Structure formats: C-alpha cells, structure tokens
A and B are shown apart, each in its own frame.
Chain A
Amino acid sequence: MSAEYIISQLINGLRLGSVYAIVAVGYSIVYGILRLINFAHGDIMTIGVYIMLLFMTSTGMPLWSVIVVSVLVSVIVGVLIERFAYRPLRSAGEEATLISSLAVSTLLQNLLQMIFSPQKKAFYLPDFFTQQHQFGIVKLSTMNILTFAAVIIMVIALTLVVQKTKIGTAMRACSENLDASRLMGIKPNQVIVFAFAVGSGLAALAGLMLAGEYKTIDPLMGFVPGLKAFCAAVVGGIGSLYGAVAGGLVIGVAEMLFAGLMPTSVTAYRDAFVFVVLIVVLLFWPNGIFGRSEGRRS
C-alpha cells in the first residue's frame, strides 16, 4: 500500500465528505430551526440531478444554465414541500413531522420512478470535469477542485449570511428560541422558507457532484447518501454550520478510508460502517463533536 494510494483515498474521502457536508448543512439549518429531520432532503438532491439530466439531454443549454435551472427547481420543490407537508404540522410533535417527511420522501421517489422510469440512467459530465491534474504526488480531477472550492465558498457565504444579514440574524434567533423570536417581531415562516430554499439549492449542487462521480443515476439514489449526510450533521453537532461541514468531512474520509484500506471481505460493510460510527459517536458525544449541550439527545 503506497503513500500515493492512501493519499488518493484520502482525496476521494474528502470529495465524498464535501458532498455530505453540503447536504448536511441543509439538514442542519432546517433542524436547527424546526427540530425536523427532513427525510425528503436526499430526494430533493435526486430531483436536482434528474432536472439536470432532462435539460442536458433535451436542450442544448450550456452546463452553467442547466445547473441554475436545476437549483431553482429544487428550491421551488423544497419550498412547496415545506408549505404543504410541514407547515400544517408546525404545532405537532417531532414524530408527526418526521412521518410527514417520510411520506414526502416516498412520494418524491415514486413520482420520479413514474416520470423517469425506475431504471438506472447514464449521467455524463463534459470531459472538462474529469480531466486529471497532477500536483506533485497528488492527483486531482477538475471535479474534485470544484467540489472543494464549492464547500469553501459555501462556508464563507453562509457565514457571511448568518452573521451579517438581517435574515441570518433572524435564523440564529429562531434556532435559539422560535417562540421568543416571534415575540421579537421575526416572522418564523419567512426564516423557515429561507432555510428550506438554501438547503434545497445546496442539495441540488451536491446531487450534481454525486452523480458526476457515480456516472449513473436512479430515482432512489439520494436517500441513503441523504441519511449518511444526516449522520454527518449529527456527528458534527446538529444545528451548527461548521459542525455539519466537519461532520461531513469526517464521515466521508472515514467511509472512504474504510472502503480503501480494509481487507476486501469487510469493505462491503461501508454503508453499515457509517451508522456504526454514528451510534458510537452519539454514545460518547451525545451532542455531536461540535454541538452545544442541550440535554435532549440521549
């Protein structure tokens, strides 16, 4: 096992981790405000990918505009889901919204199967993205560089939004205490819609990265990565932006190293491994690695 191999696994892990991080941020923003696990989040990712495929194959639009359209559609879907499936349940318990999100997830999966058929479809990005670049011992594809750049830009942009803008302040207030912030004149629904929009848009971007890597897409592709991203958000400490990013990177790297360095008889357990990591982390750090103590998780 050469150093080169380990480094390439590490980079793969960071790339996968970046995808998880981007999805996890979406989970984390919504969870921070609503205490809602949006199971449909992973499926919004799938929707974004399918919209991209649809526009790429049917129209000759340039890639950047396809991405913009797909992000917009995902944002609309995310906001609509919030309006019709979650807002009526605002006053209900945690379980009600959880079940509702589960139903939405089933709904979206089956809708995609109905429209695009359940078969796997090929998904190719232009050659430009798969080009390899050599930096000394490290080999990176354009997609890798773009993925890392996307995570960094996302973190900086979200930090600025959360810290400097009015809506960001409102978001922080809402995740601190929804009722009190309502008394302070914040309209929670606006904040929540904003959170869903940001999360869904990011999910569509993450979907592009995931599909570009797997080369095939199917209507159920988003669910398990979505769950893993939720694990990442929990491991990092849910409700915290940096926690979600860190958790995503930790889970991604751990999963890739597990798959790459362990003997082949064990590597097939990589999906299971992520959940074992989740359970172990929660047992020792009930609030995640970066989370604040809240005394409600275990």
Chain B
Amino acid sequence: MNTLRLRDCGLFRLVALVIVPIIIVVVACNQGTYYSAIVSTFAINVLLAASLNLVNGFSGMFSMGHAAFMAVGAYISAFLTLTPTQKENMMPDLPQWLTNLQMPLLPALIFCGIAAAIVALIIGVPVLRFKGHYLSVATLGLIVIVRAVLDNSDGFTNGPRGVTGLPALATPPVIFLVLIISLFVMFRIIRSQYGRGLIAMRDDDVAAQSLGINLVSKKISIFCISAFFAGVAGALWGHVQTVISGQFFYFTMSFKVVQISIIGGMASLSGAAIGALFMTFVPELLAPLESGFTIFGVTLPSLYGISNIIMAVFLILVIIFRRQGLLGSSELLLESWFSKETYTSLFKKSEYKKLLGALKPKPRKAKSKK
C-alpha cells in the first residue's frame, strides 16, 4: 500500500511545477523581443480566460463581453500613466486633476480593475436578469455600446484614432507577477465558501436558492470580480501594445477570449492556461501559412486568415468531441502552486527522505497489489 508517487512529493512539485516553469519563462523572455512579446501575450490571455471562466465556467452564466471590460481597463490605465503633455494633446477634455495625475503601473492597475468592475456593476444590474442566450447577446451589445462610446468621445479617448504612445511598462516580469497574484486570488475565491456557492448555483440554481444562496448578489458580484481582472488584463495589454483604440476591443478580441476559455475548459482556472497555450502558440506556428511559404519546392500562395480558420475548426471539433474543454473541471498546477506545503518542503528533512523514497526503484510493486 502506501507507495510513494513522485508527484506527491512537495519537493518534486516545487522543482517541476514551480522552478522549471519560472526558468522557461525567464529564458524565453531573454531571447529577444519576439519571444518576450509572445510570452507576455500568453500571460495576458491566461488572465483574460481565467477571469472569464469565473463567470462562464463557475457560475453558469454565459458572458461574451470581456472585450468591453478590457477596453475600460486599457483606457483608464492610459488616463493614469500617460504624461500630462500627452494627455493634453490627445485628451483635452479630461479634468485638470486627472491630466496632472501620473502614477506607476501597478497602482494604476488596481484603479483600472475597479473602473471595469464599476462598469460591470452598472451594466450587470439590468443585464444579469437575463438567462442563457439573452445574456450572451446583451453582453455582445455591451461591446458595441462601449465601442461607440470610445469612438465618439473625442475629448477623452481621442476618438477612433485611439491613444498612442503608452509607456511600455508591462514587461514580462510585471505581467507574470500580476498573473500569479490574480490566479492566487481567483483560486482562493473558487475554493472559498463563496466559490462553492457559485458552483452550486451553476449546477442547479433552484436548489442553490433553497439552500440560502442569494443568486442575484452572487451573479452581480462574480460578474464584477471577473470584470476587475479583465480590466487589469486590458490595461496590461495596452501597455504591451503601447497603442489602444476602440477597434481592438471588439468582437474579435472577445471571441478569442471565449475560444481560449472553451478550448482549455471553462470550469477550470488552469484550463485557461492550457487554452491560452494553444491559442497563443499555435497561431504563431501557423503564421508562415498566412504569408505563403515554400514546402518541398511548392510555393503556397499566401492565405490570409488561415490560422483563424484552423483555430475555428479546432474549436468546433473540441465542442463536438470534448465539450468540457481539454481540462474539463480539473485543476492542474494551481493546487501545488498555492499550497504552503510545496514551499515549506524545502526546509523539511522528511520531504527529502520522501523524495529519495519516491525516486528509488520499487521492485515490490507487483506484490503490493495483492
């Protein structure tokens, strides 16, 4: 009985699941701007999809309006981090105190998240009364509404021309720091009493209500929490791209987030990471197809949009053959990332013994089955 498996050792988990990924990320970031840009996009995608999963996967609503909250976050971060001269040029209608205000990225992110959450609260109170499809279409409408506001309030947002010259403050270390903190918070939310209430609501709202769960407050609060992280992600996205305008935060962006979340598995935070891994790197690999390339002496014509087509087909296949997404509702990594035992294992003698025990070949394995 009691055979020691390698993955049960805290020390092994520390090395394999924490230190190795960190090394990979650090190495990738130092490989040049191309790799660090991909890694940053990946991390932002994880944050977006994970925050969408809070609503779509864990609480049984189906929102598609994530791009709207991203837009709010990105524009608020532009208000807070641009220099006063830039703001006078592009946003002449801002109140004076806001024009003069300039803060570092990290505190600005919190305000971005709060602003997105406030928008979610305002829109959520009427919209979250809808169910199923109606909620989805209403949240799509939210994207249209936010886009219209962004494009038409020239004095605040520079209209359809967008805001340029955002400081490139979102370096990979910053993004990963924010990602890890956000994942930790979301993970704790999901594993709290509140989170179990959410899951109960998802599985059967009538039964949940009869157990004393307040559906309305749950729905609105989780919508706001999700929007908070979407706003943070949007702000980071803006600082990676350094250019933002309404057209970026439109259907394409929102669908991409939904796609990531579906492919990875909606009811799993680490599913977001798997989905983002797919949706970030596979299109990069397919990129040569878009511009036409030569294989075995045959030059293929450039196929604009082929990677989107392939990803769309993949999404249809996933939804037909593995509806719950690649990870389903299981969690990978996060459990060990955020448990104390993984980190304290470094200082415990017993953990080293355990590791040695697990590494030892086990000739008696067949016997133990009897």
**A279/B127 contact (C-beta < 8 A), A88-B320, A118-B304 known:** yes
Whether B313 and A107, one on each chain, are in contact in the complex, defined by CB atoms closer than 8 angstroms, is yes
Residues from 85 to 110 in A contacting B, C-beta threshold 8 Å: 85, 88-89, 92, 94-96, 98-100, 102-104, 106-107, 109-110
| Complexed CA–CA distance, A265 and B154 (Å) | 11
A174 to chain B, nearest CB (A): 18
- Give the residue of B133, B141, B144 whose beta carbon is less than 8 angstroms from that of A98: B133
**A106/B255 contact (C-beta < 8 A), A118-B304, A297-B130, A298-B131 known:** yes
A285 to chain B, nearest CB (A): 12
**A98/B136 contact (C-beta < 8 A), A103-B259, A272-B148 known:** yes
| Complexed CA–CA distance, A102 and B256 (Å) | 10
- Give the residue of B129, B259, B306 whose beta carbon is less than 8 angstroms from that of A283: B129
Q: Digit string of A216-242 for contact with B (CB within 8 Å is 1, else 0)? A: 000000011001001100100000000
Q: Digit string of B237-277 for contact with A (CB within 8 Å is 1, else 0)? A: 00000000000000100010011001000000000000000
- Give the residue of B129, B251, B309 whose beta carbon is less than 8 angstroms from that of A107: B309
- Give the residue of B62, B133, B148, B262 whose beta carbon is less than 8 angstroms from that of A269: B148
Identity of the chain B residue whose Cβ is nearest the Cβ of A223 in the assembled complex: B251
| Complexed CA–CA distance, A88 and B320 (Å) | 6
**A100/B319 contact (C-beta < 8 A), A107-B309, A282-B130 known:** yes
- Interface size for B (C-beta < 8 A) is 41
User: How many residue-residue contacts, CB under 8 A, span A and B?
Assistant: 125
Size category of the binding interface on chain A: 35 or more
- Interface-central residue, A98, A111, A227, by most chain B CB under 10 Å: A98
By a CB distance below 8 angstroms, the chain B residues around A276 are 141, 145
| Complexed CA–CA distance, A195 and B229 (Å) | 41
Whether A278 and B137, one on each chain, are in contact in the complex, defined by CB atoms closer than 8 angstroms, is yes
Whether A85 and B251, one on each chain, are in contact in the complex, defined by CB atoms closer than 8 angstroms, is no
| Complexed CA–CA distance, A234 and B135 (Å) | 12
Q: List residues of A whose CB falls within 8 A of some B CB.
A: 35, 37, 84-85, 88-89, 92, 94-96, 98-100, 102-104, 106-107, 109-111, 113-114, 117-118, 223-224, 227, 230-231, 234, 265, 268-269, 271-272, 274-276, 278-279, 282-283, 296-298
Q: Given A89-B319, A114-B306, 18 other A-B contacts at CB below 8 A? A: A37-B133, A88-B320, A95-B62, A98-B136, A99-B315, A104-B312, A106-B311, A107-B309, A117-B304, A118-B305, A227-B140, A227-B141, A231-B141, A271-B144, A278-B137, A282-B138, A297-B134, A298-B130
